[in-house]
Structure 1
Amino acid sequence: MSITEYFQLVVSDYTLRTITLGTAVLGAICGMLGSFAVLRKQSLLGDAISHAALPGIALAFLITGAKDTNVLLLGALVSGLIGTFWIRGMITKTHLKTDTALGLILSLFFGFGMLLLTFIQKQPNANQAGLDKYLFGQAATLVEKDVWLMTTVTGICLVVLLLFWKEFKIMLFDADFTKTLGFNIRFIDILITFFIVLAIVLGLQTVGVVLMSAMLLAPAAAARQWTNRLSIMIFLAALFGAFSGVFGTAISASQNNLSTGPVIVLVAAVFVIVSFIFSPGRGILFRQLRFRKNRRDLKLQKTLQFMHSIAVNHENIKHPHAIKILNNFQGFTRKTLQKMEEKDWITITGQQWALTSKGFHKAENLYNQQLADDRTAD
Structure 2
Amino acid sequence: MEWLSILKDGNTQWVLLSTLLLGIASGVMGSFALLRKQSLIGDAVAHSALPGICLAFMIMGEKDFFGLLVGAAVTGLIAAYLIQAVTRTSKIKEDTAICLFLSVFFGLGIVLLTKVAQMPSGNQSGLDHFIFGQAASLVGKDVRLMGGTAFVLILVITVFFKEFKLITFDAQFAKGVGLPVQRLNFLFLSLLVITVIVGIQAVGVILMAALLITPAISARYWTDSLHRMVAIAGVFGGVSGVVGTIISAMGKGLSTGPFIVLTASAIFVISILFAPSKGMISKGMERRMNDRILLRRSLLKASLGGGCRISEMHVRLGTNERKMSEAIHHCMHSGWLYSDGGEIVLTEQGRLQATHILYADELRELKEMYPSEMASYDEGWLEEAAGQTPSDENLMVLIQERKDVYNRHPYMLKGVRGQ
Worse-matched range after superposition: 157-166 or 63-72:
157-166
CA deviations on 1:242-291 (whole Å, 9 max, x unpaired) are 11111112222234453221111111110011101100111111111111
Indicate yes or no: 2:194 matched with 1:198.
yes
**Number of the residue aligned with 2:331:** 340
Indicate yes or no: 2:162 matched with 1:171.
no
Indicate yes or no: 2:2 matched with 1:5.
yes
CA distance in 1, matches of 2:339, 2:248: 63
CA distance in 2, matches of 1:151, 1:45: 23
Q: How do 1:46-57 and structure 2 match up within 5 A?
A: 46-57=42-53
1:329 aligned residue (316, 324, 349): 316
CA deviations on 1:95-116 (whole Å, 9 max, x unpaired) are 1111011111111110111111
Worse-matched range after superposition: 83-92 or 119-128:
119-128
Long gaps (5+) in structure 2: 371-419
**Number of the residue aligned with 2:380:** none
Indicate yes or no: 2:291 matched with 1:304.
no
CA distance in 2, matches of 1:179, 1:343: 59
TM-fit CA distance, 1:328: 4.5
CA distance in 2, matches of 1:75, 1:67: 12
C-alpha change, 1:54 and 1:23, in structure 2 (3 Å) is same
Indicate yes or no: 2:349 matched with 1:366.
no
TM-fit CA distance, 1:30: 0.9
C-alpha change, 1:124 and 1:327, in structure 2 (3 Å) is closer
TM-fit CA distance, 1:204: 0.8
Long gaps (5+) in structure 1: 312-320
**Number of the residue aligned with 2:145:** 149
C-alpha change, 1:222 and 1:118, in structure 2 (3 Å) is same
C-alpha change, 1:147 and 1:57, in structure 2 (3 Å) is same
The answer to whether the 8 Å contact 1:18/1:143 transfers is: no
The answer to whether the 8 Å contact 1:31/1:234 transfers is: yes
Counterpart of 2:211, as a letter, is M
C-alpha change, 1:160 and 1:374, in structure 2 (3 Å) is same
TM-fit CA distance, 1:152: 2.7
Secondary structure of the structure 1 residue equivalent to 2:345: strand
CA distance in 1, matches of 2:186, 2:335: 62
CA deviations on 1:58-108 (whole Å, 9 max, x unpaired) are 111122222101000110011111111001101100111110111111111
2:77 aligned residue (81, 98, 102): 81
CA deviations on 1:118-168 (whole Å, 9 max, x unpaired) are 122123444663111111111112233333323333333333233322221
For the aligned residues, what is the CA RMSD? Answer: 2.0
CA distance in 2, matches of 1:98, 1:234: 25
Q: How do 1:225-374 and structure 2 match up within 5 A?
A: 225-256=221-252, 258-310=254-306, 323-324=310-311, 326=313, 328-330=315-317, 331=319, 333-348=324-339, 351-374=342-365
CA deviations on 1:309-353 (whole Å, 9 max, x unpaired) are 328xxxxxxxxx754563642347222210112333223456343
CA distance in 2, matches of 1:28, 1:201: 15
C-alpha change, 1:349 and 1:8, in structure 2 (3 Å) is farther
**Number of the residue aligned with 1:220:** 216
**Number of the residue aligned with 1:96:** 92
Indicate yes or no: 2:122 matched with 1:135.
no
C-alpha change, 1:72 and 1:257, in structure 2 (3 Å) is closer
**Number of the residue aligned with 1:314:** none
The answer to whether the 8 Å contact 2:130/2:204 transfers is: yes
CA deviations on 1:163-188 (whole Å, 9 max, x unpaired) are 32222112222222222222121111
CA distance in 2, matches of 1:168, 1:281: 27
Q: How do 1:64-79 and structure 2 match up within 5 A?
A: 64-79=60-75
**Number of the residue aligned with 1:186:** 182
**Number of the residue aligned with 2:390:** none
**What's the TM-score, normalizing by structure 2?**
0.82
Secondary structure of the structure 2 residue equivalent to 1:310: coil
**Number of the residue aligned with 1:14:** 10
Secondary structure of the structure 1 residue equivalent to 2:179: coil
CA distance in 2, matches of 1:232, 1:86: 33
The answer to whether the 8 Å contact 1:278/1:285 transfers is: yes
C-alpha change, 1:168 and 1:126, in structure 2 (3 Å) is closer
Secondary structure of the structure 2 residue equivalent to 1:123: coil
Secondary structure of the structure 2 residue equivalent to 1:309: coil
Secondary structure of the structure 1 residue equivalent to 2:103: helix
2:109 aligned residue (101, 113, 132): 113
The answer to whether the 8 Å contact 1:49/1:80 transfers is: yes
CA distance in 2, matches of 1:241, 1:326: 53
C-alpha change, 1:178 and 1:327, in structure 2 (3 Å) is closer
Secondary structure of the structure 2 residue equivalent to 1:353: strand
CA distance in 1, matches of 2:74, 2:314: 75
Worse-matched range after superposition: 277-286 or 117-126:
117-126
